[in-house]
Amino acid sequence: MKVVVARHAGICYGVERALKMAAEAATTTDRVATLGPLIHNPQAVAALQERGVGVASSLDEIEQGTVVIRSHGVDPAVIEQAEQKGLAVVDATCPFVRAAHTCAAELAASGYAVVIVGESDHPEVEGILAHAGGEAVIVERAADLPARLPRRIGVVVQTTQQLDTLRDVVDDLLPRTAELRVCNTICSATAKRQTAAAELAEEVDVIVVVGGHNSGNTTRLTEICRARNPRTHHVETAAELDPAWFEGASVVGVSAGASTPDEQIQGVISAIESIPGDE
């Protein structure tokens, strides 16, 4: 079988930066922990743990040493609390996420009612909400918008959302508002990966998307591919591959989320190439 990799796939600048910052912190102090998983990739998080970077679910679990703020960002109050505890803080918030924080804060300060397009239970959205002052409407799609809204609306979007979703929300809001300000904070790396995955899915027999099952951006890549190719499969590692998926296939596509390291992608590619094809 021939394996074709999407033009844009795998680890992005923000994730690579966060991994590097956490690894460097482990070389300068004996006690380092990330506040929650640094990125949504269990294998990468496990590799960091082997290098001495622990994972804490809250600041209560970190009594001393260094805390690394994960790429998804946090409520600024959390950083203040960490500093008050005497912890050294390494802020690995992705620059694109930080831009979303800034937009949310500016919209709220300017008197706009803030609408966040994203997943309400995602840590990135929780951070955006905090920067908006804790007051915002969170929607995953246009259908989630409430019937009654203030006349001045400001929109900010989770960095890993699809542009079509943002467009749908904006189209719904336009006739219902007197003033609408939109911050398109979708990460350029995310947009490129989504476009490339969509194009590839239409050109191959089977497509495999590699990345954490807990990764929002990888899940969206899978949804985008599956809408174009029903033979779409999402795996974290090569161990999850099923040879039956590739029966009758001559060309297999591979895409990967922005939190997927290269070695993970290469492991899946090698495993696919080793699957016997049809005679």
Tokens (6 digits) for 210: 């590699």
d(CA 66, CA 201): 43
Which residue in this structure is represented by tokens 């939190």? 259
Average pLDDT score over residue span 17-42: 93
Q: Which residues pair with 207 in a beta bridge?
A: 232, 253
Among residues 192, 199, 245, the alpha carbon closest in space to that of 225 is found at 199
Cα gap 174→257, rounded to integer Å = 32
The DSSP symbol for 147 reads: S
Predicted confidence band of residue 276 (pLDDT cuts 50, 70, 90):
confident
Q: Per-residue pLDDT tens for 193-208?
A: 999 999 999 999 999 9
- Residue 278: pLDDT above 80? no
Question: Could you read off the pLDDT of 253-265 as tens digits, one per residue?
Answer: 999 999 999 999 9
Q: What is the tens place of the pLDDT at every residue in 147-190? A: 999 999 999 999 999 999 999 999 999 999 999 999 999 999 88
pTM of the model: 0.85
- The conformational region for residue 212 under phi > 0 = left, psi -120 to 50 = alpha, else beta, is beta
For residue 5, the one-letter residue type is V
Task: Just list the catalytic residues.
Answer: 124
d(CA 269, CA 168): 36
First to last CA, the chain: 11
Give the pLDDT band (50/70/90) at residue 125.
Answer: very high
Residue 109 structure tokens: 């300060």
- Residue 277: what pLDDT? 65
**For all residues of the chain together, what is the average pLDDT?**
95
CA distance 61 to 10: 32
In sequence order, what are the residues at sequence separation of 6 or more whose Cβ sits closer than 8 angstroms to the Cβ of residue 111? 152
- Phi and psi, residue 134, nearest 5°: 80, 0
Q: Is pLDDT above 50 for 279?
A: no
Q: How far is CA 47 from the centre of its chain?
A: 19
Domains of the chain, first to last: 2-10+189-273 (3.40.1010.20), 13-94 (3.40.50.11270), 96-186 (3.40.1010.20)
User: Which residues does 147 contact at the CB level (< 8 Å), separation at least 6?
Assistant: none
| 151 residue type, one letter | R
Q: What is the pLDDT of residues 52-107, one digit of tens each?
A: 999 999 999 999 999 999 999 999 999 999 999 999 999 999 999 999 999 999 99
